[in-house]
Amino acid sequence: MTTILIAACALLASAAAANAGQRCDAAKPTPRVIERGLNLAQRTAATLDAEHRQHGTRVVLLARAGQDLTKYGQHWSHVGWAYRTPEGVWRVVHKLNECGTDQSIVARQGLGEFFLDDLWRHEAAWAAPPPDLQDALWHLLQDNRRAPALHQPRYSMVSYAWGTRYQQSNQWAIETLALAAEPAVQRREQAQAWLKLKDYRAATLRIGALTRLGGRMTAGNVAFDDHPNAQRFADRIETVTADSVLEWLARLSAAGAARRVASS
């Protein structure tokens, strides 16, 4: 099981030095962090295997809690697409920020690597798209050319939900869903139009001017200049959060709330 969980390959580049907006530390993970991450990966794999046996599910949106975002009313920090390979192994394709810089990659990882970060909470959530979207995503996610087709390397943790200057991880995930769902989608603007048509509702975070200034000056992966001035100066930052994606997917698939998995 351990080999299955930690095996991974990079889709565009190695993800060893990448994260999803967290601090990039030189320190290696402690044995306790590794143990808890692998435990969560094993529990998640068992849960998804059971779901596959019962319902044939082979693609889910998988969320983790890598940072404390409670002051913004958010529970989850990052999502990726988990799919079941023909060999019966779960892989995750997701977008990763490169060590707090303004650059990112799209990577393919095993569940063990996905949960190996020093997480804020060792728990996961998942939601399954409708079966027809699962089929489209399943084929796309295994295609090294199509999976990163809408990837914008310039990264901001708070990129504007309806802009294209930057792109954060959760934004890439739902735009890629649009790419899989609609053959006419070739550009990010078209993907965002599809998302609006399907009633995706971005989250609006209250972030004051001093916080914005501090973030912009001290973090390479934070930018606010893509947000409309009227919203930005009113401290209203409209962005794609993991929580908003899970809530939307539950409405889209009529599957109810996302289901959780916790480590022991």
Give 30's pLDDT tier (boundaries 50, 70, 90). Answer: confident
Widest Cα–Cα separation across the chain: 52
Query: Which residue range forms the structural domain that includes residue 172?
Result: 2-254
State pTM to two decimals: 0.89
Counting the structural domains of the chain, the total is 1
Cα-flanking dihedrals φ and ψ of residue 26, to 5°? -80, -25
Residue 263 domain-assigned (yes or no): no
Residue 188 domain-assigned (yes or no): yes
Residue 22 domain-assigned (yes or no): yes
| Mean pLDDT computed over 90-117 | 94
Q: What is the dihedral of CA 111, 113, 116, 119, to 10 degrees?
A: -60
The pLDDT > 90 percentage for the chain reads 75
Residue 68 domain-assigned (yes or no): yes
Pairwise CA distance, residues 38 & 155, whole Å: 28
Task: Please give the C-alpha separations between residue 181 and each of 19, 57, 77, 119, 258, in angstroms, as whole numbers.
Answer: 27, 17, 24, 31, 21
Residue 259 domain-assigned (yes or no): no
What does pLDDT average to over the chain?
A: 87
Looking at the predicted structure, is the pLDDT value of residue 137 above 80?
A: yes
> Which tokens belong to 59?
């693609």
Looking at the predicted structure, is the pLDDT value of residue 201 above 80?
A: yes
Residue 260 domain-assigned (yes or no): no
